Amino acid sequence: MNKETIVIGIDHGWANMKTFNEVFTSGVKEISTTPAMFNDTLEYNGKIYKIGGKRLEVKSTKVEDENYYLLTLAAIAKELSFRRIQKANVLLAVGLPLTRFGEEKDDFIKYLGQNKEVTFRYEKRQYHVTIERISVYPQCYGAVADRLYLFPQKQLVVDIGSWTVDIMPIINRSPDESVCVTQPHGIITCMKEINKECVKQLNEEIDEHDILQVILNGADHLPDKYREIIENKLREYCQQIYYNIRELGYNMELTPITFVGGGAGVMKRYGEMNQNNISYIEDVRANARGYEYLAKHYLEKVLQRN
């Protein structure tokens, strides 16, 4: 690695892929015929894929098939395009839940680094990338890495993602791995409960996109009967998150808590807790930006030693 190495942070979510500058749906679908328009299209190994659209189904891990490798190529292309570069040596900075970090790290590095050099096209533009290193960091920790100096001696960080909720105590600016918890109660589970209730009450389902619009801006265009179900279920979801935190032994009135991830905005708008000890980082790209922040510090140290 050298000063020309480009650091790209990527947060591989089950609902959305996030980079420093981009957010896009974690969706991949092979196109059997040449598309009329090449927006959001990836050309790799003689095949064409549409990126985005409907999100992928959740699986046990992200290395079971090629989907997240293809999404990674798309994420790299988006970042390089933002920087107006088509050929680059890349340090890839990514993350995993801390409680599965040791178990999944090596497989994730092998999966993402399956090609040391890779050439592909995104939106008809060709990219040639050399992967010089893959650095893996803990989810949740990445989201607050650039502001640890602001934290008190003890801080609880709760990362509410699309599929998991990471509950991570940070003691003296370092995660306490012995009591970190990862729970399968992310926003996707809440959206499933919303749809169950819509079927129960209205005999109709609602698209996840419309649920997300309610979360983001209230979605005033939706009929009141749908919006009421969505908002009630979001409040119930927030109360369940609080209950899970209390069950782990944390005092909600006394513990400094920072909510991060896609669910931080849900907790802020529907959690109905306005205490001074609770704060929110609503930028869904916070983990990706944190991975990039940590990897750049690593790269700087390497360059100083050399």
Q: Which residue has the tokens 């096209």?
A: 121
User: Within the chain, where are the H helices?
Assistant: 67-82, 101-112, 141-144, 187-202, 208-217, 224-247, 264-270, 286-305
Task: Dig out the tokens for 252 from the structure.
Answer: 């909600």
38, pLDDT greater than 70: yes
Rounded average pLDDT over 223-250: 94
The answer to whether 6-138 and 149-282 have equal CATH topology is: yes
Q: Map out the domains of the chain as residue ranges.
A: 6-138, 149-282
> 3-class SS at 121?
strand
CATH H-level, domain 6-138: superfamily:
ATPase, nucleotide binding domain (3.30.420.40)
CATH 3.30.420.40 fits 149-282, yes or no: yes
The Cβ of residue 38 has, within 10 Å, a number of other Cβ atoms equal to 16
Cβ 265 vs Cβ 286: under 8 Å: no
> 3-class SS at 190?
helix
Q: Quick: pLDDT tens for 140-181.
A: 999 999 999 899 999 999 999 999 999 999 999 888 888 999
User: Looking at the whole model, is its pTM more than 0.85?
Assistant: yes
The pLDDT assigned to 33 comes to: 84
Cβ 267 vs Cβ 245: under 8 Å: no
189: β partners:
none
